[in-house]
Amino acid sequence: MFNHGWHNYLEHAYPADELNPVQCNGRGSDKSDPTNININDVLGDYSLTLVDTLDTLAIMGTQDQFEEAVRLVLEQVSFDKDSKVQVFELNIRALGGLLSAHVFASDPSFGHSIKGYNGGLLNLAEDLANRLLPAFQSSKTGIPYPRVNLRYGVPRTETVETCTAGAGSLVLEFGVLSRLTGNPYYESVAKRALKAIWDRRSPLDLLGNVINIQTGQWIHTASSTGAGIDSFFEYVLKAYVLFGETEYLNMFEDAYGAILQHIRDPSGYIYRNVHMSSGTLMATWIDSLSAFMPGLQVLHGDLESAIKGHLIFYNIWKRYHALPERFDYYQKTVDIAFYPLRPEFVESTYHLYRATRDPFYLQVGEMIIEDLNNRTRLACGFANIGDVRTGRLEDRMESFVLSETLKYLYLLFDICKSTSLYDVYGCHGNIHVFKLIFSY
């Protein structure tokens, strides 16, 4: 499956950012409509799928494929673009991809080092980070603007509203960059942003969804484990795992305690949307992004909660042969019907199998593979599902299909590779691989 998607990207789309698997061509930024944030938040004409998939090639592919992809990046990829992009998306996909590939290319301990490699990926990562820094430097609170022009900085008219996940999910990549370059500034701005968000939590230790970066006032006060907040929790715990700083663990323990007390419903299966100040119910839906939570609970050691939470998404998948973006658990109906082949449910399935060795999770993986092949595989790649109820497809294959979804499926069924990977390395939310680094 990975080879099918990767080779079609190279043949039909590269050097574009993404593959259009229906038309068999490439997709870049939408220059005709600068307000099209669905595209322009992510795509900026820097061969995103190539960059995001580098370490997948090291883990899944041959050494020749990995070395060729690194060569293409070093020779042809530039972030000196007049493109306004989302800081969060470029951080997890591009900066994370470059740093992870640098680790593989330079460190012989994992078996993918490249002879004669001189650190070019790290240099490119630092260049990208420098282009993202204006988002932090123009903020009174230290919480970054959500978007930045890679060539010209923060536009004068840029919104001052950002989501908790977008502002609070930067410390892993920026922290690794600081440790690899010896420059603590990158980590300091990302950590300041994370702490600025956390310091504005409610007395219940709950976070809102959207905040004003200049005033620090909450704009949307719904608290959940889903879209807009999800990866904040992930980054806090994984920052402790990666860097060994107990401050991050203390944050996570407080945040997770609030989740169990106020967001999780009494059954233990559903994680709700509640008001951050009162804990009262605000909505009766769950979204597909929150399917990451069982995997994070495995990392935290709360296996019982992980098993129960995973079953909700398993049953939704069984009903629709995919995960709708939003599902109303009270009405038992789909609220938002598309599925862009997101990795979160696969991610949690992988972590649960690794923790339990229960063959049920292999059966879940087989179900996912069968449904992806039957419903989304085309001659030129894998297409988004526009409506999980009808099977209507959309002409887009996002970079995370190769860099996350199919990588997790591969690791699920290759437990030897998976175990050796975790013995030596730690993974962040976009499953780019970083070596554990505790000091400069």
Catalytic residues: 89, 230, 325, 344
Max CA separation in the chain (angstroms): 59
DSSP lists the bridge partners of residue 382 as: 377
The Cα–Cα gap between 405 and 411 comes to 10
Secondary structure string (H, E, C) spanning 95-163: HHHHHHHHHHHHCHHHCCCCCCCCCHHHHHHHHHHHHHCHHHHCCCCCCCCCEEECCCECCCCCCCEEE
Q: How far apart are CA 248 and CA 228, in angstroms?
A: 20
Residue at token pair 């536009």: 155
Q: Kindly report the number of other CB atoms within 10 A of residue 200's CB atom.
A: 17
In angstroms, how far is the first alpha carbon of the chain from the final one?
A: 39
Contact call for residues 26 and 18 (beta carbons, < 8 A): yes
Burial class (CB in 10 A: 0-12, 13-18, 19+), 414: middle
Number of CB atoms found within 10 A of residue 319's CB:
15
- DSSP letter at 405? I
Nearest in space to 106 (alpha carbons), one of 171, 58, 56: 58
Which two tokens mark 160? 């001052």
Decide: helix, strand or coil at residue 249. Answer: helix
Asked if residue 367 lies in contact with residue 414, where contact means CB atoms within 8 angstroms, the answer is no
Work out the number of other CB atoms within 10 angstroms of the CB of residue 326. Answer: 19
- The CA distance from 266 to 313, in Å, is 18
In terms of Cα–Cα distance, which of 42, 432, 428, 12 is closest to 236? 428
Distance, C-alpha 317 to centroid of its chain: 20
Question: Whose CA is closest to 28, among 41, 45, 15?
Answer: 45
Q: Which residue bears the tokens 């990926």?
A: 121
E strand or H helix that includes residue 5: helix 2-8
Do 323 and 288 contact (CB within 8 A), yes or no?
A: yes
